[in-house]
Amino acid sequence: MTRRDFLAKTGLATGTLLCSGLATPIEAWAQIGNSKTAATDSKLVVIFLRGAVDGLNVVVPYADPNYYAMRPRIAVAAPGQDNAACLPLSNGFGLHPSLGPIYPLWQQKKLTFVLNSGSPDPTRSHFEAQDYMEIGAPGQHIITSGWLNRLLSQLPDNKSPVRALNVGSTTPRILQGKSTSATYAPSNKRRRAALDNEVVEQRFQQMYGGRADSLGAAYSEGIAARNTINEKLSNEQMMANQGALPANKFSSFGRQLGSLIRQEPKVQVGFVALGGFDTHVNQGAGKGQLANQLTTVGQGLADLVQALGPAFARTTIVVMSEFGRTARENGNGGTDHGHGNVMWVLGGNINGGRLWGKWDGLSAGRLNENRDMPVSTDYRTVVAQIIGEQMRLSQSQLNTVFPNFARTDRSLADLVV
């Protein structure tokens, strides 16, 4: 329309509709303002399953007869076929029964999976592939910081010692870099460390506290993080000590991490690594070795979501693994190192209840190198979509998190609400 028509229609030319004409634009600006503030509250939790979890048994392609032909001993039964059958998702895919605790999230559309995703680098070495996935720059060894640490450098620094929370006992590659992160080892038995003793702590405080150098700073940050965690979790730990001690030390990771994040709004990122997924031998199907490992993950994730409470609305949890496994079972009732895998995404603000990614079936011609799954969606596309939208990162900021990564894949444009 012509400018004159536009002005006539909105009444701006005559001036009579000036107020109501402006009302809508102001409202829109107010909404943008609010969502900018909300964006800085957004949190990302990364769960890394080390050892290459078997994605084909996590999200089971039960409608594809090739699946059962390739895995006579370890295929998970189709829904309703036996008492350890998968739970129906959509499009002929099912969820491993051990992940039952998170199935309600699928039904509430807060859980989804990206099929045939992962790292484009062809390495099938655990250490190398984990390194590449954590550095966020597959195939090179020059960058040594982790992408989660680089993400922190792009988020507003709220000066909290626990803005990055690592559950474990060592700082993983993904969190290595200039920004500081707090490490918290979940345990049901509190082993007394020397610094837990106040008198001892005071002595070290005297030696380190007054130093203006990096040693002094590191000491102070470490103590501050430890104090914050202890303060927020003291109730949690008391409860854990009174109950029976679970066998797997990570079985309560979900509850503790979720509580911490809920009680400390300044947490921006979290990380947990779980091991035991390298199932070369006797993997089992709906029940067995893999099933047992997945039980920990499923329960942990359900606990995490529950403990987050209202914070779940602003949190996204991404589960990844360095690569997938072979489509065919091997001679030992297990699977070997593969390529493409499934990424799991849970969050208050994602479009769940449907599957994402590109799936071409399991016929021989469609496998990668005639042995495993292709990577049709780069893991960085998944993460960039989430952090770009929810944390309002610019393209330049995303380039810092994932250098030399061209975001040409638009297939996940609607992943985030």
Partner 1 sequence: MTPRAMARRAGARITEYGGGLIGLGPDGNGSKSVGEFGAYFDANRHDFGSKNVLGHRIAGSGEKEIEQVLDILAKHPSTAKHICYQLAQYYLADEPPASLVSKMSDTYLKQDGRIDKILETMFNSNEFWDPRYINAKFKSPYRFIVSALRNTDSHLTDPTATAGYLRQAGMPLYGCLTPDGYKNTQDAWLNPDALLNRINIAATIGAGRYPGVTTGNITAESLADTFATRLSDQTSATVKKTPANQRVGLLLGSPEFMKY
Q: Kindly determine how many residues on this chain lie close enough to bind partner 1 according to the rule CB under 8 A.
A: 38
Angle at CA 401, nearest 5°, toward 400 and 403?
Answer: 60
By the rule CB under 8 A, 170 interacts with partner 1: yes
- Block residue for tokens 């449907």: 354
Task: Say how far residue 325 (Cα) sits from the centre of its chain.
Answer: 20
Whether the Cβ atoms of residue 278 and residue 51 lie closer than 8 Å to each other: yes
405 lies in the site for partner 1, by CB under 8 A:
no
Instruction: State the nearest-atom distance from the C-beta of 89 to partner 1, in Å.
Output: 37
Q: Can you spell out the DSSP letters for 109-163?
A: T-EEEEEEEE-S-----HHHHHHHHHHT-TT-SS--S-HHHHHHHHS-----TTS
Q: Does 6 bind partner 1 (CB under 8 A)?
A: no
Sheet holding 59-60: strands in order across?
59-60, 94-95, 87-88
Contact 417, 396 (CB under 8 A): no
CB atoms within 10 A of CB 160: 18
Q: Does 124 bind partner 1 (CB under 8 A)?
A: no
- For partner 1, the binding residue among 36, 109, 127, 190 (CB under 8 A) is 127
Structural element, H or E, at residue 273: strand 269-274
28 or 215, CB closer to partner 1?
Answer: 215
Contact assessment for residue 349 and residue 390, using Cβ atoms and an 8 Å cutoff: yes
Q: Which stretch binds partner 1 (CB under 8 A): 38-46, 113-121, 220-228, 318-326?
A: 220-228
Binding segment (CB under 8 A) for partner 1, from list 78-86, 170-178, 305-313, 318-326: 170-178
**Part in contact with partner 1 (CB under 8 A); list of ranges 69-77, 168-176, 303-311, 391-399:** 168-176
Residue 150 near residue 137 (C-beta atoms within 8 A): no
CA distances from 349 to 39, 70, 73, 273 (A): 11, 37, 38, 23
- Which residue type occupies 72? P
- Residues whose CB falls within 8 Å of the CB of residue 175, separated by 6 or more in sequence, listed in order: 146, 148, 149, 164, 166, 181, 271
Our finding on whether 219 is near partner 1 (CB under 8 A) is yes
For the bound state, the minimum distance from the C-beta of residue 92 to partner 1, rounded and expressed in Å, comes to 40
Residue 63 binds partner 1, judged by CB under 8 A: no
Least Å distance, CB 215 to partner 1, is 5
Strands 43-49 and 87-88: what pairing?
A: unpaired
Residue 246 · residue 303 · CB < 8 Å = no
Candidates 310, 404, 406, 410: give the one binding partner 1 (CB under 8 A).
404
Give, as one character, the DSSP assignment of residue 393: -
CB of 41 to partner 1, least distance (A): 25
Does 123 sit near partner 1 (CB under 8 A)? no
CB atoms within 10 A of CB 222: 16
Q: Minimum CB separation from partner 1 for residue 148, in Å?
A: 14
What residue ranges in 50-102 does DSSP mark as E strands? 59-60, 87-88, 94-95
Cβ closer to partner 1: 59 or 182? 182
The Cα 233–Cα 292 span in angstroms is 28
Tokens 């499934």 sit on residue = 342
- Closer CB to partner 1, residue 226 or residue 232? 226
> Rounded to the nearest whole angstrom, what is the least distance from the CB of residue 129 to partner 1 in the complex?
11
Residue 9 or 266: the one with the smaller Cβ distance to partner 1 is: 266
Q: Which of 50, 64, 92, 128 binds partner 1 (CB under 8 A)?
A: 128
Quote the CA–CA distance of 309 and 305 in Å, as a whole number: 7
276 binds partner 1 (CB under 8 A): no
What x/- string results for residues 176 through 215 when contact with partner 1 is judged by CB under 8 A?
Answer: x---xxxx---------xxx----x--xx-xxx-xx--xx
Contact 258, 304 (CB under 8 A): yes
Instruction: Report if residue 266 touches partner 1, rule: CB under 8 A.
Output: no
Stretch that binds partner 1, among 18-26, 164-172, 269-277, 332-340 (CB under 8 A): 164-172
Site string for partner 1, 131-160 (x = CB under 8 A): x---------x--x----------------
Q: How far is the CB of 112 from partner 1 (least distance, A)?
A: 33
Nearer to partner 1, 54 or 264 (CB): 264
| Of residues 56 and 162, the one with the C-beta less far from partner 1 | 162
List residues binding partner 1 (CB under 8 A). 127-128, 131, 141, 144, 161, 166, 169-171, 173, 176, 180-183, 193-195, 200, 203-204, 206-208, 210-211, 214-216, 218-219, 221-223, 225-226, 404
